[in-house]
Amino acid sequence: MRNLSKVVSGLPHFACGQIIKGFGRGSKQLGIPTANYPLEVVENLPKELSTGIYYGYASIDNGEVHKMVMSIGMNPYFENKHKSMETHILHNFMGDLYGHILKVCIVGYLRPEKNFDSLEALIDAIKKDISDAEKLLDNPENLQFRNHEFFKETINGQILINGHHKNGTKINGHI
C-alpha cells in the first residue's frame, strides 16, 4: 500500500446495489462465496480507495447486518480484465443471492491484493483476512457503523442506489 492515509480518507464508504453473477469461482473453486456488484457501483468508488482487501459490514435486502470482507480489484491470481468489488459476508445464506440488494459499509483496509503460487495459498490468505476482520469489526469505533442509519433505511430503488442519505451520508460515497 503506497498511501494508507489516502485510503483511510475515503472511508467509511457506503455502497448499495443489486448482486450480479461473477465468474462463480468463489463458491466452486475457493469454497468462499462472494457477492459481486455491477459496474456502476464499482465506478462510484472514490479514487482514494485503491485496489486491495477491505472489511466492513453488509446486509441483504435490508436484513440483519453482518460482518464482511471485500476484495476490490483485478484478482491478479485469475488475471481479470475489469475491476470488481466482491463481498464475502460472514454468514451462511441459504441458496444464491443473485438479484438481491447488497448494502455495504466499508470501514477499514487490510492489505493489497496479491498474486499467489497456488489456489491453496490464495484460500489461506482469504481465511486470514476473515479472521482478522472478525476481530477488528468488534472494535467499538467500527461497531458504530454496524448500527448506522444507512442499514435501517427501507429499500427505495433509485434513492438508495444513487442518492444521498437524509443525514448527509452519501450512498456509493462516504460521509
Ligand X SMILES: Cc1cc2nc3c(=O)[nH]c(=O)nc-3n(C[C@H](O)[C@H](O)[C@H](O)COP(=O)(O)O)c2cc1C
Grid cell listed for 29: 473453486
Shortest Å distance, C-beta 73 to ligand X = 7
Amino acid at 96: D
Shortest Å distance, C-beta 154 to ligand X = 28
Catalytic residue among 48, 64, 79, 86: 86
- Applying CB under 6 A, the site for ligand X has a residue count of 23
If one asks whether residue 174 binds ligand X (CB under 6 A), the answer comes out as no
- 86 is annotated as an active-site residue: yes
Shortest Å distance, C-beta 64 to ligand X = 20
Residue nearest ligand X, CB atom distance: 22
Distance, CA of 139 to CA of 155 (rounded, Å): 28
Per-residue mark of binding to ligand X, 14-53 (x: CB under 6 A): --------xxxxx---x---x-x----------------x
Nearest to 15 by CA among 168, 175, 173: 173
Distance, CA of 49 to CA of 60 (rounded, Å): 23
If one asks whether residue 129 binds ligand X (CB under 6 A), the answer comes out as yes
Contact 68, 90 (CB under 8 A): yes
Contact 26, 20 (CB under 8 A): no
Q: What are phi and psi of 123, to 5 degrees?
A: -60, -45
Interacting residue ranges for ligand X, rule: CB under 6 A: 22-26, 30, 34, 36, 53, 69, 71, 75-78, 86, 88, 113-114, 122, 125-126, 129
